[in-house]
Chains A and B, each alone.
Chain A
């Protein structure tokens, strides 16, 4: 009974939830704005606080991932997806950069792309890298990411590859239901996420302009610093991950991530990925909405027999997993007509 109550408290914004949130935010502030973690890293034989962060992050994704696979072991989609997320984290987001560093090469994170990894599309940086990386980055950011987004939905990145999503869907699992389902939150989301996208596109254009004209105005430099501080450190780190126990696991992904915004647009435009609703079978229990980490009111669609594609849906598949009547099914299919006819 005590164990249940503690778990409830931790996962429903009780005192322990607030304490964990405070500790996480404190950790991110220490990480981004101080050098307090450097000696800690060194005692573990790591060269910098960022290496320490990489180790912790990977451990969190792997242990959380194992727990998730045990929990949803009967669901092949969840097992495959979670295994891929863990693999990408271990190999592309941890081992390869660490090896490159050990070989005194620049650390490339090959599973992160612009506009999430903002610097990769900064011409000053990009065009000083070896050509295979330049080609990889340009092809991935400008062609592969949107193309796969249109064909498979944004899920191919947001819940199969991305480290932010990876952490949310592994270690963050116990808090996924805390996302705000209100229509007011949806309104806010539409304004906030496209604003960040607009700002990041503007900044990228300014950087290219400065690079072409070979003159960088001090305002652009300042703009760049502020963007890094607010979007990179505060929103994606402290708010995005620190507030898991208060706002759910995808605060960053849902409200701020420019990559998610772009992918959401391609997901809608591609008209292939959708969540199919089995006709007249929904009992309006609300488990799907409750456990949707993106705060989508899935029940609202299910109870009116409406198959749907929402720009924010990351295709995690948990709504389908928790539905006790098997109403929901994630699909890639171009002909929505087929769905309507019940085939």
Chain B
């Protein structure tokens, strides 16, 4: 069997290793345009901050790919002929496959006000990182638009390099998709305390400059001179290239698949950020890794039904750590922890705990998701919260 994988992100590489573990004879080729070796996209910010070097981003030693006989090709896939089972690459080569896995991840969303000027960056790929590093020295002020998790990471990097940053967030409170207004306030105050000019209720209307960007105008009509604009208004499945191929798979927001990651084309699978599995897209590292494991079974011809476990996530807003489990929205009990930048929030429905959102201290999400699965009562859970704490030794935080 020749398995060709497009995309050497966590989904593609995890799938490759799982297939190799089960089938020592399969021929496995991984094609990816961005980099020759698998790297951690999640660590882009640490490379930008210079606390890690490029090579440190690679989760596996390079020799592992040799040992596991995974053939790596740095190239872009540009055409797909599912009838002939052929994939054409930008470099001109054509690969014949028996099974094909599309794991092309996400790309940064484009904004309507964007113009193709030097100084406009996203923060998703290694090439974005190159651009950020090149542009930072000549930047007197940067504007970052979009208050999601990638936005705050980009802001942190720029602050680290002592670049003054104006951070424009469209919503009236910080990241309402997951944080309650009180939590949003805590996070906003923390971000401002790092010297960031954070503006809520604020959006870009247009952009100025010839060649290099020189400023932006907000919807409120304010002009902000700047040499760098970070566009971090979310990501979307990276499917554009598939719209132009000879035989595109069924596409919706992402590549449409069933619960076994099969696309509409024979022998073609999709997993990771790019896959819309039964209508659901999970743009998360853990999910992409899980899907990579799972799709391998399907590729190997085993019957499987992917069922994502209870949702959880974690992130960091500068120095504020955050863990969530289950639902993050809806009525709940919020408590600010005395004397520190920290809070706990338990989301409830009919007296049952259905979600947790914990800011500023460390938590074991496994205990939290178990409580949700066991449908524990909020009163009970509030009294037992300390069982889920995960602080360092000597550092147990009083709740």
Contacts and interface: CB of A to CB of B under 8 A. Distances in A.
Contacts of A183: 61
B392 A281 contact: no
B46 A287 contact: yes
Interface centre among B50, B286, B393 (most CB of A within 10 A): B393
Interface stretch (B99-107, B245-253, B359-367): B359-367
A274 interface: no
A1 interface: yes
Interface in B274-298: 285-286, 290
A279 interface: yes
B390 A278 contact: yes
A281 B286 contact: yes
Given A76-B394, A329-B390, A286 B40 contact: yes
A80 B314 CA distance: 27
A122 interface: no
B201 interface: no
Report the contact-size class of chain B (Cβ under 8 Å from the partner): 35 or more
Contacts of B10: 284
A280 B286 contact: yes
Contacts of A284: 10, 40, 42-43, 59, 285
A80 B366 CA distance: 29
Contacts of B364: 278, 342
A32 interface: no
A343 interface: yes
A299 interface: yes
A287 B286 CA distance: 17
Interface string A175-218: 00000001100000000000000000000000000000000000
A75 interface: yes
A118 B15 CA distance: 52
Interface stretch (B22-30, B185-193, B230-238, B316-324): B316-324
A219 interface: no
Contact of A286 (B52, B321, B362): B52
A330 interface: yes
Chain B interface main SS type: mixed
Nearest to A285: B43
A118 B364 CA distance: 44
Interface stretch (A138-146, A163-171, A246-254, A317-325): A317-325
A4 B50 contact: yes
Given A284-B40, A287-B51, A290-B52, A329 B61 contact: no
Contacts of B43: 283-287
A1 B364 CA distance: 39
A342 B366 contact: yes
B161 interface: yes
A241 interface: no
A331 B53 CA distance: 30
A290 B106 CA distance: 27
Contacts of B395: 75-77
Interface string B302-316: 000000000010101
Interface string B50-65: 1111001111010000
B134 interface: no
A89 interface: no
B301 interface: no
B174 to A, nearest CB: 19
B335 interface: no
A283 B278 CA distance: 25
A78 B51 CA distance: 20
Contact of B314 (A12, A286, A325): A325
Nearest to A283: B42
A330 B40 contact: no
A78 to B, nearest CB: 8
Contact of A76 (B40, B290, B319, B392): B392
A326 B393 contact: no
Contacts of A331: 393
Contacts of B392: 75-77, 317, 320-321, 329-330
A223 to B, nearest CB: 39
Interface in B348-399: 362-367, 370, 390, 392-395
B40 A343 contact: no
Contacts of A317: 392-393
Given A280-B290, A330-B393, A342-B370, 12 more contacts: A74-B319, A75-B392, A76-B394, A281-B365, A284-B40, A285-B46, A290-B52, A290-B56, A317-B393, A321-B392, A326-B363, A342-B367
Interface of B: 10, 40, 42-43, 46, 50-53, 56-59, 61, 137, 161, 285-286, 290, 312, 314, 316, 319, 321, 323, 362-367, 370, 390, 392-395
Please list the 3 inter-chain residue pairs (A to B) with the smallest Cβ-Cβ separation, ordered nearest first.
A76-B395, A285-B43, A326-B362
13 contacts: A4-B50, A79-B394, A278-B390, A283-B42, A285-B40, A285-B43, A286-B40, A286-B43, A286-B57, A330-B392, A342-B364, A342-B367, A343-B367
Interface of A: 1, 4, 8, 12, 74-77, 79-80, 182-183, 278-281, 283-287, 289-290, 299-300, 303, 317, 320-321, 324-326, 329-331, 342-343
